[in-house]
Amino acid sequence: MLPAAEVGAGAASALDVTLLAVLQGLTEFLPVSSSGHLVLAEHLLGLREGGLALAVALHLGTLLSVLLVYAGAVRDTLADLLRGRPAEALRLVLASLPAALVGILFEDWIEERFGDARGAAFGLLLTAAVLALAEVLRRRRARLGATPRPLRAGTALATGVAQAVSILPGVSRSGSTISTAMALGVAPAEAARFSFLMSLIAVGGAALLQARKLGGEDAGSPGVLLLAWGVALSALVGWAALKLLLAFLGRGAFGWFALYCAALGLGWLALA
């Protein structure tokens, strides 16, 4: 997830907004860590942050991506809740509690980590290890013909703990949560569905935390049209990235993403 941006000295340019929106849209859902990429990109390219308003706008864009792809699942969850069948909604709330507690209790400490590019590189290496393990387990279960297990409360809580760890830069939220659910026997498509429904709460909560800090004039914020462009572009890129991941999730995608994260993390540590 995109961390809370500090207010910059000047307003973000159209190029800044475009780069950050593409980065957010691509890496929020692909299991490669949006926070890790943002930290490394700022160090490498000298990208200016666009202030809290832009951070909130980009979060809104990725929320729209999930709603576009999982509109049916969101509708079914809400309908079940209204009909007195709250099991899915309760699992989502249970899974969201660990990250909420960590985010509230350690907010200042976590924000300090977003200035540490070396730490983000180590986070990418952790992501690579998690993805590689998940792919090994997926192939083993497929080879043995194991029957997928339903996603129950215990699995939801374990997935929530993985999401809490992924608050650190470089640790992928989608990769950690999907990998955890898959390791516990949940089918890849169901693990992804639950992970991205969780993201509606996690990303929305992060946006609200940032929005409450908006007071007075956000000096680093772009204008309204640029903010709208950031929302639209991050939503479009996020939608494409999410559809791509779902198309290849059960066909060894995590193995390739693990190689990418390992190469990026090791490359940064070796060259930076």
Tens of pLDDT along 155-198?
Answer: 999 999 999 999 888 999 999 999 999 999 999 899 999 999 99
The answer to whether 235 and 210 are in contact (CB under 8 A) is no
pLDDT of 51 reads: 62
pLDDT of 6 reads: 40
Distances, alpha carbon 56 to alpha carbons 2, 119, 165, in Å: 9, 24, 22
**Cα–Cα distance, 31 to 34 (Å, whole number):** 9
Q: Which of 7, 5, 10, 6 is nearest to 23 (CA)?
A: 5
Lowest-confidence segment of 30-44, 47-61, 110-124, 125-139 by average pLDDT: 47-61
Lowest-confidence segment of 18-22, 47-51, 189-193, 252-256 by average pLDDT: 47-51
| pLDDT interval class at 103 (50, 70, 90) | confident
Single pTM value for the model: 0.86
The answer to whether 97 and 39 are in contact (CB under 8 A) is no
Give the distance, in angstroms, between the CA of residue 28 and the centroid of all CA atoms in the same chain: 4
Mean pLDDT over 82-110 rounds to 91
Q: Is the pLDDT of residue 203 over 60?
A: yes
Q: Is the pLDDT of residue 7 over 70?
A: no
Question: CA triplet 100, 91, 213: central angle to 5 degrees?
Answer: 25
DSSP assignment, residue 106? T
Lowest-confidence segment of 31-35, 147-151, 203-207 by average pLDDT: 203-207
Question: CA triplet 156, 121, 4: central angle to 5 degrees?
Answer: 65
The answer to whether 3 and 169 are in contact (CB under 8 A) is yes
Whole-number percent of the chain with pLDDT over 90: 51
- Each domain of the chain, given as residue ranges in start order, spans 14-271
pLDDT of 47 reads: 64
Q: Is the pLDDT of residue 242 over 90?
A: yes
| pLDDT interval class at 9 (50, 70, 90) | very low
